[in-house]
């Protein structure tokens, strides 16, 4: 069966089409993927299928796209707090 594995850096995106045997879990697909050959130190702790977080034991279906999520640079809540604080300072 064919699946896709997607990973994005800030300036570049990668999408590999992979052929895997059925049944296949996310963990098995990642272990044999070209993506991990290209990025051997890639953190695959957080992954999803079409934008929905899944565990590594999720059984893939034909056409699924595994998305490898990288850590956030900054917590969105903290960024909003900083923005509000700056806006309040500029209004004073």
pLDDT in tens, 15-45: 999 999 999 999 999 999 999 888 888 888 9
Number of structural domains, the chain?
1
CATH number at residue 37: 3.10.20.30
> Can you give the residue range of the structural domain that contains 62?
2-91
Is the pLDDT reported for residue 5 higher than 90? yes
| Helix, strand and coil percent figures for the chain, each rounded to 5 | 30, 30, 40
pLDDT of residue 92: 65
Q: How far is CA 84 from the centre of its chain?
A: 29
Assigned token pair, 6: 């997607």
The pLDDT tens digits for 40-92 are 888 889 999 999 999 999 999 999 999 999 877 767 787 788 888 888 888 76
């Amino acid at each position: 069966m064919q699946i896709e594995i997607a990973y994005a850096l800030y300036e570049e995106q990668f999408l590999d089409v992979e052929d895997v045997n059925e049944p296949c879990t996310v963990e098995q697909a990642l272990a044999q993927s070209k993506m991990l050959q290209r990025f051997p130190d890639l953190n695959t702790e957080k992954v999803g299928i079409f934008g929905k977080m899944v565990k590594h034991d999720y059984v893939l279906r034909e056409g699924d796209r595994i998305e490898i999520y990288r850590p956030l640079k900054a917590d969105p809540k903290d960024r909003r707090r900083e923005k509000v604080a700056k806006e309040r300072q500029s209004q004073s």
